[in-house]
Structure 1
Amino acid sequence: MGDLSALDTGEAAFWRSLIRVTTVLPRALEDQFLPETGLTISDYGVLVALSEAPHRLLRISALAATTALSLSRISRVVDDLTRRGLVEKRRCTEDGRASNAVLTDAGLARLEAAYPSHLARVRASVFDHLNAEEIRTAGPVLARLAAALDAAPPTDEEPRTR
């Protein structure tokens, strides 16, 4: 565990910037993305995870882990996507108590339609403000922070940011 003393000036500036990015960026992306596509960022993350899964199918618990959403939050998102015909819920054949989420053809079509605007927003919000060296350097640092968060004991609270 690190030193418990106060943050130095550089650490404090880094921490404030990190908090600002992790708070403002998702909200900014969502504010533009939702009206354009009818999808929240959580919806989009679920559709992406399912599109990349074998047979476009994941157990709800695995989907929660993949998207870094709590079990209660993933259940609400999957239920909403199911009502909209973008996902189907099916009983797990190996464990009748568990459910799987399956991406429908309509869900895949919605994801493919949303991808260009999402990519444009990500570029405009993040990558247009960084050069190649900054991206190359920051990538492993952010991956190490994400891995440390992934290794932390799980809770059923709202998501840890990925």
Structure 2
Amino acid sequence: MGDAVVWLNERQLAAWRAFLLVSSLIERQVEQQLRDDAQLSHQQYEVLSRLADAPGRELRMTVLADIALTSKSGLTYQVTQLEKAGLVRRRSCAGDDRGVVASLTDAGLEKVVAAAPGHAGLVRALFVDGLSSEEFEGLSKGLGALVDRLTDSGTHSS
């Protein structure tokens, strides 16, 4: 048949379950804060912030899907909603009729700039401040190692 399964030991299973719980609790609170304060979903905020950080405030949709951590269809839905709200525009990619570029409008930039302080404050409170400097450094290095392994990039800097 195949290789025998190597089960997680108690400590590994506890860490995995704690990771899942923390991820879920943080995501719920971030989602709620962004909806309450900015009328945005977390995915929409990610799209806007990634576009705000991009050169010329625009990215190809395929690149945006990768860095905004969503599927192409999920991104298309979110960008459609943001476009209806006047926060994002789409256009054909020059020289590639199949490519589509999403760009941040001035209204989109204003929206993400207004939402950023509350979002950053909550992320700090939920993700950073609950750990000592040493604990946070270890978490940062560990997460960076996992990102490198899972993305085969080997270029993550923590």
* TM-score, scaled to structure 2: 0.89
Paired amino acid for 2:5: L
Partner of 2:125: 124
Between Structure 1 and Structure 2, whose CA radius of gyration is higher? 2
Residue 91 of structure 1 aligns to a residue whose secondary structure is strand
CA distance in 2, matches of 1:124, 1:33: 15
Partner of 1:46: 47
**Long gaps (5+) in structure 2:** 153-158
CA distance in 1, matches of 2:14, 2:140: 19
What per-residue deviation string (whole Å, max 9, x for no partner) do you get for residues 117-159 of structure 1? 00111112111201111111111110121233334xxxxxxxx
What per-residue deviation string (whole Å, max 9, x for no partner) do you get for residues 24-67 of structure 1? 21112111221111111111111111111111110000000111
Residue 58 of structure 1 aligns to a residue whose secondary structure is strand
4+ runs of 1 displaced by more than 4 Å?
none
**Long gaps (5+) in structure 1:** 152-162
Report the Cα offset of residue 82 of structure 1: 0.5
Question: How well do the aligned residues superpose, as a CA RMSD in angstroms?
Answer: 1.5
Mapping for residues 1-162 of structure 1, pairs under 5 Å? 4-151=5-152
CA distance in 2, matches of 1:22, 1:128: 16
Q: For structure 1, which segment, 95-104 or 141-150, has the greater mean C-alpha deviation from structure 2 after superposition?
A: 141-150
Report the Cα offset of residue 9 of structure 1: 1.1
Contact kept, 8 Å, 2:33 with 2:119, in 1: the verdict is no
Paired amino acid for 1:64: A
CA distance in 2, matches of 1:146, 1:67: 14
What per-residue deviation string (whole Å, max 9, x for no partner) do you get for residues 2-33 of structure 1? x8321111101111011112222111211122
Residue 94 of structure 2 aligns to a residue whose secondary structure is coil
Residue 129 of structure 1 aligns to a residue whose secondary structure is coil
Paired amino acid for 2:66: A
Tell me how many residue pairs correspond in the alignment. 150
What per-residue deviation string (whole Å, max 9, x for no partner) do you get for residues 41-100 of structure 1? 111111111111111110000000111110000000111111101100011112111110
Residue 102 of structure 1 aligns to a residue whose secondary structure is strand
Q: Which of 1 and 2 has higher RCO (CA within 8 Å, sep 6+)? A: 1
Paired amino acid for 2:92: R
